[in-house]
Amino acid sequence: MKIGELAKRSGLTAHTIRYYERIGLLPYADRDRSSRRDYDPSILVWIEFLGRLKTTGMPIRDMLLYAELRDRGSGTEAERRALLERHRESVRARVDELNACLLVLDTKIGGYAETEQRMKDYDATLPERRRKPVGARSARTR
């Protein structure tokens, strides 16, 4: 598989794939006779996992640590596991943090909802012909 094909399948750009190889996140790819990279499809599994680490906010320097352990192969399982367990904890903490913020957002949005309700109630007390047209906004709101 050439780099363009891998790019399509992985969702990365060819630029990014080369960049990842340069920094050591992807193993050095075998080249064909004209020095083009030729990939085994199994690389997709690794790229997908790297994507998970990235999605969960792991910095590249930590992914590199993991990639190095992986390259060293057997004997590094305990370290790899420990690294992932530490990361999992940080992701859980992040989820908790986001959920806490969601509660604050709910409250804030609820406050605006109340404001709107009070405005509707107020409008309803006005004589028919003085009510604001539906969808009306204040002049400054453009």
Partner DNA sequence: TCTTGACTTAGAGCGCGCTCAAACTCGTAG
Partner DNA sequence: CTACGAGTTTGAGCGCGCTCTAAGTCAAGA
- Tell me which of 104, 125, 129, 134 binds a second copy, using CB under 8 A: 104
27 binding DNA? (CB under 7 A)? no
Q: Which is nearer to a second copy, 23 or 100 (CB)?
A: 100
41 to 70: interface string for DNA, x by CB under 7 A: -------------x----xxx---------
The rounded distance, in Å, linking the Cα atoms of 16 and 22 is 10
The region of 13-21, 71-79, 101-109, 110-118 touching DNA under the rule CB under 7 A is: 13-21
42 binding a second copy? (CB under 8 A)? no
The rounded distance, in Å, linking the Cα atoms of 6 and 14 is 8
Q: Is 85 exposed, middle or buried (0-12, 13-18, 19+ CB in 10 A)?
A: exposed
Residue for token digits 């047209």? 133
- Smallest separation, CB 2 to DNA (Å): 4
Count of alpha carbons within 13 angstroms of residue 40, beta-carbon side: 9
